[in-house]
Chains A and B, each alone.
Chain A
Amino acid sequence: MLDFVQQLVSGVALGCVYGLIALGFVLVYKATEVVNFAQGDLMMLGGFFAFTFIGMMGLNYWIGFAGAVAAMALFGMLAERVVVRPILGYPQFSIIMATIGLGYFLRSIAGMIWGTDDLKIETPFSQGVLRIGSLVLAYDKLSVIAATMILCTLLYLFFNKTTLGTAMRASSENMLAAYYMGIPVKRVVSIVWAISAAVATCAGVLLAPITFIHSNVGLVLGLKAFPAAVLGGFGSIPGAVVGGVLIGVIESMAGFYLPEGWKDVAPYIVLLTVLVLKPEGLFGLHVRKKV
């Protein structure tokens, strides 16, 4: 039983990271109908930025964290301006390919600048555990869970309660109509990319004590975040986190109870099952096709 709870908690922590990356997918998808295949790589880059600020320049953890988030938000805007804006309105597949290309580029550049070693950031949560009875919970995992909950709530409120959030939802439904209604669609898209890059950075920094930072971390985790986003129904903010947690728990349970090899495949088997049985996901909207 104790093993089970232990696995559950580490699964939830891992799942929250998937959820955070999936949140980035969902944000961009919600606002622009674009799926950003470079989301994991934005996370990786955010981690490296934080490493530069905290590990190399010796700044305070929180200042470095904020600096990395701000820098990545700017970088997200830049990436949107250069790669995505010229092809908005073209078939989705071109945009997918463009973001795949962007991912390739970021991975190699990061490898060139920061090398190929695993890097580590000293965080206030790196050491120390919380003991409840005989249950041992590491602070770094708890910090991921807490941060995910906070970010998810904030983003949910932002999308559903603020004017800007409403503008984003409007421009995702119909860009042209939103533009006629006076919504500055280009700026909205730009802001969405900034937010999603910032969320990715949070994921990268929180993850640093658990998986370390290296140039391929984004690819590996980004691919795991797809099942999370699909399970939650692409386009739903709480769905992304719930999907992420489910995938994380499934993965860590499969690693513990099933023979070797199932751990890596389980998320994708779940994903395919969901796609076949309920393609709109747990929280997705089901809309009839129109001509």
Chain B
Amino acid sequence: MRFLFKTDYEDDIKLFPHSGYVVTYGVLLALLLIAPYVLSSYLMSQLVFVCIYATVGVALLILTGFTGQASLGHAAFLAIGAYTAAYLQKYNVPFPVYFLAAGLLTGIIGAMVGFPALRLTGIYLVIATISFALIVEEILARWESVTNGNEGMRVKALSLLGVAVPRDSPTFYFLCLAVLVLTIVGTLNLLRSPTGRAFVAIRDSETAARSMGVNVALYKVKSFAISAAITGLAGVLFAHKLSFISPEMFTLQLSIEFIIVILIGGTFSLHGAVLGAIFIVMIDPFLTYLKDDMPGIIAGIAATFGAGSATAGNIQSKVAAFASLNGLKGAIYGIIIVLFVLFEPLGLYGRWLKIKLFFQLFPLYKRATFKRQKIYVKSERNR
């Protein structure tokens, strides 16, 4: 076991607490850099989506995980970023300009949403952000001169320094990866600055934060703006990746998916956003795989356990029929959300920490280390 001796505050807020971190993240980065030359084009495409979802996940973590302001409206910010890119691209605005413009515009709109949200907490905030997202969705469908309505907009391949970057090229992947890494590093820096400390203070107790001199209103609006701006940047990449955007892509469903990203990953650490993004993006190919191969595998197992070939065939067709049922994906989503909330509230990263601690303290690990405290007394209405 490693003991870290910290002698001053600078030691405590180091990005890499010890050399192990440098090695691990260095290896990870190297793997990610050689990925486009090793993996199949389908997996690369999924990896780009992981980068985009993880960027949104980090944005949502800043707002929900660290400032404690739940939002079910992030699909709207993503949409605003995507549509800004598509609209400006029509007028031959260069990529770096509309990339930043999309971030700026979304940030401003985020701040505007943040102002009314100042008076709201808990469930009211969730409902308000849902309404905001629904209104944005309707505006996108109706403001035809700009958004082309329900017909959607084509997005041309982005061009960087005069060179076209197709959406399935390694360069596009590196761009997405760079945005993700910069976002993560930027967010880590933000979180160890006074602003980030203020965010966490607001999450833990608004009243306590205020009495310590934190300007709660200012920091909440800041948190909304930063989170929205990052989501807007991700939206630009999202638009380029899909090469076609229409209002029905940015529904409440997508907002819920973003929340699932951080819920499944873990809401207390940036690792959670990345793990959750991998989970959400990979669940689709995994379900397809199950649908294609599962019936055969189950029939094989049944056959080895002495079922006749006729029974095995029967089982195979039944499982296949079940796997191709409409809406199975929704049911699996629902079950996953409920199971994570009930049994793994700290998410995948929390599970990883538990496993790590188990081996570090080998015979002395206690379950209660990660136990959450239940609070029955508090009525949120009177808080």
Q: What residues make up the interface of A, taking CB atoms closer than 8 Å to B?
A: 33, 35, 83, 86-90, 92-98, 100-109, 111-112, 116, 172-177, 179, 215, 223, 226-227, 230, 234-235, 260-261, 264-265, 268-269, 271-272, 275-276, 279, 285, 287, 289-291
Could you tell me the distance between the alpha carbons of A290 and B207 in the complex, rounded to whole angstroms? Answer: 8
Name 9 extra pairs, CB < 8 A, besides A87-B342, A116-B326.
A87-B341, A89-B376, A93-B64, A101-B341, A104-B333, A109-B327, A111-B326, A265-B138, A269-B135
* Residues A33 and B131 in contact, CB atoms below 8 Å apart: no
Chain A to chain B contacts (Cβ below 8 Å), 11 pairs: A86-B342, A93-B64, A101-B341, A105-B334, A111-B326, A264-B134, A264-B138, A275-B127, A275-B128, A287-B382, A290-B382
Residues of A within 8 A of B138 (CB): 261, 264-265
* B78 to A: closest C-beta gap in Å: 19
Kindly identify, within residues 320 to 339 of chain B, every residue whose CB is under 8 Å from any CB belonging to chain A: 325-331, 333-338
Residues of A within 8 A of B377 (CB): 174-177
Q: What residues make up the interface of B, taking CB atoms closer than 8 Å to A?
A: 64, 70, 116, 119-120, 122-124, 126-128, 130-132, 134-135, 138, 141-142, 205, 207-208, 252, 256, 259, 263, 325-331, 333-338, 341-342, 345, 372, 374-377, 379-383
* A166 to B: closest C-beta gap in Å: 16
* Residues A102 and B130 in contact, CB atoms below 8 Å apart: no
Residues of B within 8 A of A272 (CB): 116, 128, 131-132, 135
* Residues A103 and B131 in contact, CB atoms below 8 Å apart: no
* Residues B208 and A276 in contact, CB atoms below 8 Å apart: no
Specify which of A92, A109, A174, A261 is in contact with B142 (CB 8 Å cutoff). Answer: A261
* Residues A90 and B263 in contact, CB atoms below 8 Å apart: no
* Residues A104 and B341 in contact, CB atoms below 8 Å apart: no
Residues of B within 8 A of A107 (CB): 327, 330, 334
Residues of A within 8 A of B259 (CB): 97
Residues of A within 8 A of B380 (CB): 33, 92
Asked if A279 meets B120 with Cβ closer than 8 Å, knowing A89-B375, A269-B135, the reply is yes
Interface centre among B123, B331, B375, B380 (most CB of A within 10 A): B123
* Residues B128 and A271 in contact, CB atoms below 8 Å apart: yes
* A48 to B: closest C-beta gap in Å: 14
Could you tell me the distance between the alpha carbons of A201 and B120 in the complex, rounded to whole angstroms? Answer: 31
Residues of A within 8 A of B379 (CB): 33, 172-174
Asked if A104 meets B330 with Cβ closer than 8 Å, knowing A88-B374, A176-B377, A289-B207, the reply is yes
Residues of B within 8 A of A95 (CB): 341
* Residues A94 and B327 in contact, CB atoms below 8 Å apart: no
B contact patch SS: helix
* Residues B383 and A290 in contact, CB atoms below 8 Å apart: yes
Residues of B within 8 A of A108 (CB): 327-331, 334
Specify which of B135, B374, B381, B383 is in contact with A268 (CB 8 Å cutoff). Answer: B135
Residues of A within 8 A of B123 (CB): 35, 92, 96, 234
Could you tell me the distance between the alpha carbons of A285 and B379 in the complex, rounded to whole angstroms? Answer: 13
Asked if A89 meets B383 with Cβ closer than 8 Å, knowing A112-B327, A272-B116, the reply is no
B343 nearest in chain A by CB position: A86
Could you tell me the distance between the alpha carbons of A107 and B334 in the complex, rounded to whole angstroms? Answer: 9
Could you tell me the distance between the alpha carbons of A93 and B263 in the complex, rounded to whole angstroms? Answer: 10
Asked if A98 meets B337 with Cβ closer than 8 Å, knowing A108-B327, A268-B131, the reply is yes
4 closest A-B pairs by CB: A101-B337, A105-B334, A104-B334, A89-B374
Specify which of B207, B331, B341, B342 is in contact with A109 (CB 8 Å cutoff). Answer: B331
Asked if A105 meets B338 with Cβ closer than 8 Å, knowing A112-B328, A227-B131, the reply is yes
Asked if A289 meets B383 with Cβ closer than 8 Å, knowing A102-B334, A271-B128, A272-B128, the reply is yes
Could you tell me the distance between the alpha carbons of A211 and B382 in the complex, rounded to whole angstroms? Answer: 39
Asked if A104 meets B381 with Cβ closer than 8 Å, knowing A268-B134, A279-B124, the reply is no
* Residues B116 and A83 in contact, CB atoms below 8 Å apart: no
Specify which of B142, B325, B334 is in contact with A103 (CB 8 Å cutoff). Answer: B334
* B117 to A: closest C-beta gap in Å: 9
A98 nearest in chain B by CB position: B341
Could you tell me the distance between the alpha carbons of A89 and B379 in the complex, rounded to whole angstroms? Answer: 10
* Residues B207 and A279 in contact, CB atoms below 8 Å apart: no
* Residues B256 and A100 in contact, CB atoms below 8 Å apart: yes
* Residues B128 and A83 in contact, CB atoms below 8 Å apart: no
* A273 to B: closest C-beta gap in Å: 9
Could you tell me the distance between the alpha carbons of A230 and B129 in the complex, rounded to whole angstroms? Answer: 13
Could you tell me the distance between the alpha carbons of A139 and B325 in the complex, rounded to whole angstroms? Answer: 38
Interface centre among A92, A103, A116, A268 (most CB of B within 10 A): A268
Could you tell me the distance between the alpha carbons of A111 and B326 in the complex, rounded to whole angstroms? Answer: 7
Could you tell me the distance between the alpha carbons of A273 and B345 in the complex, rounded to whole angstroms? Answer: 34
